[in-house]
Amino acid sequence: MFKNNPILLKIKKEISSKEINIEGVIKYYKKNYFFLEKKSKKFYKIPLSFTKKVMYNDKIIANISKINNKKIAIPKKLISPFLKRFIGRISFKKKLLIIIPDNYYINNIIFLNSKKNNKFYEGDWILAEMKYYPLRDNKSFYAKIISFIASKNNLFAPWFVILKKYNLDLNEPIISNSINSIPKDKIIRKDLTKLNFITIDNSNTKDIDDAVYIYKNNKNEFILNIAISDSNTWIKEGSELDFIAKNRGFTNYLPGFSIPMLPRIFSDNLCSLKPNEIRPVLICKVKIHLDGKIDDKSYFFYAWIKSKAKLDYENVSNWLENKKKWNPPNNEISNQIILLNNLAKLRIKWRKNNESIFKEKLNYYFNMNKFGSITNIFPISRRIANYMIEESMIIANICAARILKKKLGFGLYNVHKGFNKNFLKKIVNILKKNNILVNYSKLSTLSGFCKLRKKINNMKTSYIDSLISKFQTSSYIKIYPEPHFGLGLEMYATWTSPIRRYSDIINHRLLYSCIYKKKIIKPSNKIIKHLIECKKKNKIVKKNIQNWLYARFLKPIIGKNIYYKSEIFQVINNGIKVKIINNGAMAFIPNFFIKKKFKDFLIDQENGMFKIKKNKYLKQGDLIDIKIIYICMKKHLIIANIF
């Protein structure tokens, strides 16, 4: 009777026409407030009764319906879950074991499979894998425990958790075959063991990969010999050790300790240029002219050396500055230090006039005890001894870039393109507002970039630098030579740290082919992509661990009248980011704190400043006093107030 009723068919057609299935991603705004975001940036609220079926960042199909003339999204099908294998903390809900994911936006209750609840405690860190999703399996959120990471009270949890999160190793690699001596090879090496090669590093450095020997010729020009550990003596292409080094990509330097690319028997012993030990090296011999220019010709060859002294940056700098009581062991070593110092000053002067040098930025040292507790964090600046070695390594890498281009036409080149070309007009306008006139067409050239850097370096504050630095590109690796704007160089190829960087191992092999005129296959884009990804991961891991340690270190001072001198790092719409000068921690000051102090408060994000009084502004680069008010340990976010 009603099957073909025209009125019912019309109503049914109207209803079905209103039901639209769309694909989108779940986003979270506030507690129990989820919405669906389409690619077109349209948003649809998800009713409260359905929020327990979805999770932040899930990709789903939802039905768009109307309730009270408002469009809502009803989750229908799970396309791709956000949470798969993840890290979280153990908790209990009515004696049932649950996991709280290490993600600020995920508050779903996720049950765990373990029946042995007594082996876990509240707050323990574990690795888990999602098994069931309500939208897909019609069951509660349910995860399987993969492995235990760290106990609640383990002070090393920041390292364990974050390294596991990014699937990076915590320990040194293990090799199946033991090697205790230098393998024999067919390379012809010069015996330079009588020359006074020296190394200068941090006092606790064990993986020493460079040594230097310097003298002057009859024209008073510097002749510099840069000896780099010939790690390829042990790391043969295609070997187990080569696979290990390639997989890790780099030595991972973290607060408190480092995780080596190679087993420590190699990085800290066999490959290390330890004092009074004969070691195989690859040497770059080059002349530096009286004006500081590097000679166009350099000579690469293999040799044996025996480092005559392991010096450290602090002692050498103190001696050159007539501080403290340390003295070089003999006159020959003293002469090496003096010559290296003179060369460094000459090269720095040359580079300031002809290339590009960024202003020195403070690094920070995390002083940690053996239990994993941070006892102090303090700034460290590079001193003259650091520059002596740095300038020597830059010279060596310039020479390598040149010979690789000349002999092969390719290599692993460090490339930096300066500013993102999409923002050149914006940069020009910012500079023009601040009375700096630059030519748009020249800003994307090496000479134009260097010229601008010189102007910025001569400024009293970092205001202009902070406004335009966000438009700079990151450095990366390429097969063919291109400029490195950051250094102001036509080309740059590193080979001076083969114990710590796999890219340098590759360049060693390419230099070998140049010396012996052997044909060699070009490095693949796959290996370059892998190395770029490794470097990026290491950088993220280091930053995340530092943020966690800063939050832990500064939490005890909340409520105390302790004020920190800080630099305004960035002005954004909802507040300002500041960097604490004496420890390097980043803190955030929300707008409502600033408004309480300054009635005329007005944000000007575009110009990196905010109004505090009539015609008076604070801007990026200015120093202010702050007090830490609150620390969110889940996000490792430091909230401060301005004083």
DSSP 8-state class, residue 408: T
Q: What angle do CA 169, 175, 179 make, to 5 degrees?
A: 140
DSSP 8-state class, residue 501: B
In angstroms, rounded to a whole number, what is the distance separating the alpha carbons of residues 73 and 76? 9
Q: Which of 616, 620, 615, 576 is nearest to 594 (CA)?
A: 576
- DSSP of 27-40, one letter per residue? EEEETTEEEEE-TT
What is the side-by-side order of every strand in the sheet holding 616-619? 602-604, 609-613, 616-619
- Catalytic residues, by residue number, are 201, 207, 209-210, 313, 500
Q: Which of 23, 167, 156 is nearest to 84 (CA)?
A: 167
In angstroms, rounded to a whole number, what is the distance separating the alpha carbons of residues 348 and 333? 23
SS (H, E, C) 418-463: CECHHHHHHHHHHHHHCCCCCCCCCCCCHHHHHHHHHHHHCCCCCH
Going from the C-alpha of 378 to that of each of 43, 128, 452, the distances in angstroms are 46, 37, 32
In angstroms, rounded to a whole number, what is the distance separating the alpha carbons of residues 334 and 495? 27
At residue 285, what is the residue type?
K
In angstroms, rounded to a whole number, what is the distance separating the alpha carbons of residues 631 and 548? 11
Q: Which of 535, 512, 508 is nearest to 271 (CA)?
A: 508
Per-residue tokens: 174: 């293990």
Q: Which residues, at least 6 apart from 476, have a Cβ–Cβ distance to it below 8 Å?
A: 414, 415, 416, 532
Q: Which of 268, 274, 290 is nearest to 219 (CA)?
A: 290
Going from the C-alpha of 618 to that of each of 233, 403, 569, 627, 643, the distances in angstroms are 57, 50, 11, 17, 13
DSSP 8-state class, residue 64: E
**Neighbour count for residue 214 (Cβ, 10 Å):** 23
SS (H, E, C) 598-640: CCCCEEECCCCEEEEECCEEEECCCEEEEEEEEEECCCCEEEE
Q: Which residues, at least 6 apart from 599, have a Cβ–Cβ distance to it below 8 Å?
A: none
Residue 576: exposed, middle, or buried by beta-carbon count in 10 A (0-12, 13-18, 19+)? Answer: buried
Characterize 319-345 residue by residue with b for buried, 16 or more Cβ atoms within 10 angstroms of its Cβ, and e for exposed.
bbeeeeeeebeeeebeebbebbbebbe
Task: Give the three-state DSSP class for 513.
Answer: helix
Please answer whether residues 36 and 44 qualify as being in contact, where contact means their C-beta atoms are separated by less than 8 angstroms. Answer: yes
- DSSP of 262-299, one letter per residue? S-HHIIIIISS--TT-EEEEEEEEEEE-TTSPEEEEEE
Question: Using only C-alpha atoms, what is the Rg of the chain?
Answer: 30
